């Protein structure tokens, strides 16, 4: 039976996962489609509220599941004291995949990780490759320290080209950035938000502006408590930010047992696509493909929804052929 949204699958639910109730949002057109689990960014910044901005076409080829992670969104508001560590996150993800496989009668799921979600996804597929059909990295993080160095140098270069003395002055007033090691304390969080603002001015990073909030408020699943969760994001994810500060995929072998696909925005200098592109060349996997989307930044699926979908469709077709 179809529902108001006209989607065969349209479900919001809280599921008992790893000792707490966690929020899942399912959308799709057929039980036969592969199940794609979307790992949001942040840490702590849910993307279940943005589905209507990019996902409609995806639902023709995948059953798309958004999970508000521990320490984020609706899951955080239900469990204010159940805060994430990397071990808990990996266990949560493992149990959610098990739950989805059973619910949709699948052997494996497709994992799509965006930004911080690409960190969680990359670590997970190394640990549990047998659970995942293939992995899609979007705004793929490889090395957090390198990210910030490259992104800083890019915005500085553009300011100098433009002769934008005011912005250069603002950049210089931040002081040394990012330093030798990233420690997500108050001082660094303040610096990073100032850097993002300046990068935003040059369309190098995702903007939290009026259109961002309009999309949030229009979401069919939006509640005002989601805003409270957004404000609690940094405090709730302290442990995860510490993990992220030291994260570097180059510290281990780039061998994977599942096919790897990257979809990167050519204007993404928040998580510079050039770093992921370089790492991609080293990857050894059963299959691998990279798509670089023109005129798209860190939120590539929202910046260029049609081109992003074309990249997804291509991946889906390759995987269908291979199986």
Q: Would you list the domain boundaries of the chain?
A: 9-143+222-322, 146-201
Q: Is the confidence at residue 4, as pLDDT, over 70?
A: no
How far out from the chain centre does Cα 139 lie?
A: 7
- Residue 16 phi/psi, 5-degree rounding, is -75, 110
| Nearby residues of 217 by Cβ (< 8 Å), 6 or more positions away | none
Cα 41 to Cα 17, 66, 204, 205, 251, distances in angstroms: 20, 12, 17, 14, 22
- Rounded Cα distance between 313 and 52, Å, is 18
Question: Looking at beta carbons, which pairs linking 169-172 to residues 24 or more positions away fall under 8 Å?
Answer: 170/194, 170/198, 171/195, 171/198
Q: How many CB atoms lie within 10 A of CB 63?
A: 27
User: By the 8 A CB rule, do 195 and 152 touch?
Assistant: yes
Position 176 pLDDT exceeds 70:
yes
At 157, is the secondary structure helix, strand, or coil? helix
Q: What is the mean pLDDT of residues 32-53?
A: 96
> Which pLDDT band holds residue 258 (cuts at 50, 70, 90)?
very high
pLDDT digits (tens, 9 = 90+) for 69-85: 999 999 999 999 999 99
Rounded distance, CA 253 to CA 262, Å? 18
Q: Which residues contact 298 (CB under 8 A, 6 or more apart)?
A: 115, 139, 205, 206, 265, 268, 270, 271
Residue percentage of the chain with pLDDT more than 90: 90
SS3 assignment, position 177: coil
Q: Share the mean pLDDT of the chain.
A: 95
Q: pTM here?
A: 0.96
Instruction: Quote the percentage of the chain above a pLDDT of 70.
Output: 98
* pLDDT attached to residue 1: 34
Show the beta-strand stretches assigned E in 157-277.
Answer: 260-265
Cα distance between residue 87 and residue 181, in whole Å: 23
Q: What's the confidence (pLDDT) of residue 208? A: 79
In this prediction, residue 210 carries a pLDDT of: 86
Strand partners, 39: 113
Specify the pLDDT at position 2.
42
- Does residue 247 have a pLDDT over 60? yes
Enter the CATH code of domain 9-143+222-322: 3.40.50.1820
In angstroms, the CA 5 to CA 52 distance is 11
Residue 3 has pLDDT above 90, yes or no: no
């Amino acid at each position: 039976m179809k529902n108001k949204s006209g989607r065969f699958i349209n479900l919001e639910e809280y599921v008992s996962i790893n000792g707490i109730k966690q929020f899942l949002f399912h959308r799709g057109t057929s039980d036969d489609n592969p199940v794609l689990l979307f790992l949001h960014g942040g840490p702590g910044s849910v993307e279940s509220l943005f589905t209507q901005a990019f996902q409609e076409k995806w639902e023709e080829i995948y059953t798309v599941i958004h999970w508000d992670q521990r320490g984020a969104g609706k899951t955080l508001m239900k469990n204010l004291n159940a805060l994430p560590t990397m071990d808990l996150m990996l266990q949560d993800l493992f149990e959610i995949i098990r739950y989805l496989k059973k619910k949709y009668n699948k052997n494996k799921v497709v994992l799509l990780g965006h930004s911080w979600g690409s960190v969680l996804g990359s670590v997970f597929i190394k640990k549990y490759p047998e659970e995942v059909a293939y992995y899609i990295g979007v705004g793929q993080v490889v090395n957090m320290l390198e990210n910030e160095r490259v992104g800083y140098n890019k915005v500085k270069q553009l300011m100098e080209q433009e002769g934008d003395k005011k912005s250069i002055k603002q950049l210089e007033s931040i002081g040394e950035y990012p330093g030798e090691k990233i420690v997500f304390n108050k001082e660094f969080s303040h610096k990073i938000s100032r850097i993002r603002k300046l990068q935003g001015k040059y369309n190098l990073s995702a903007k939290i502006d009026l259109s961002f909030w309009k999309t949030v408020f229009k979401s069919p699943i939006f509640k005002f408590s989601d805003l409270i969760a957004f404000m609690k994001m940094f405090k709730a994810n302290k442990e995860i930010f510490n993990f992220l500060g030291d994260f570097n995929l180059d510290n281990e072998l780039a061998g994977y047992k599942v096919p790897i696909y990257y979809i990167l925005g050519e204007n993404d200098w928040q998580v510079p696509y050039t770093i992921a592109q370089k790492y991609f060349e080293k990857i050894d996997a059963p299959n691998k493909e990279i798509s670089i989307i023109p005129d798209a930044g860190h939120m590539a699926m929202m910046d260029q929804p049609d081109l992003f979908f074309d990249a997804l469709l291509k991946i889906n077709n390759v995987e269908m052929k291979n199986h």
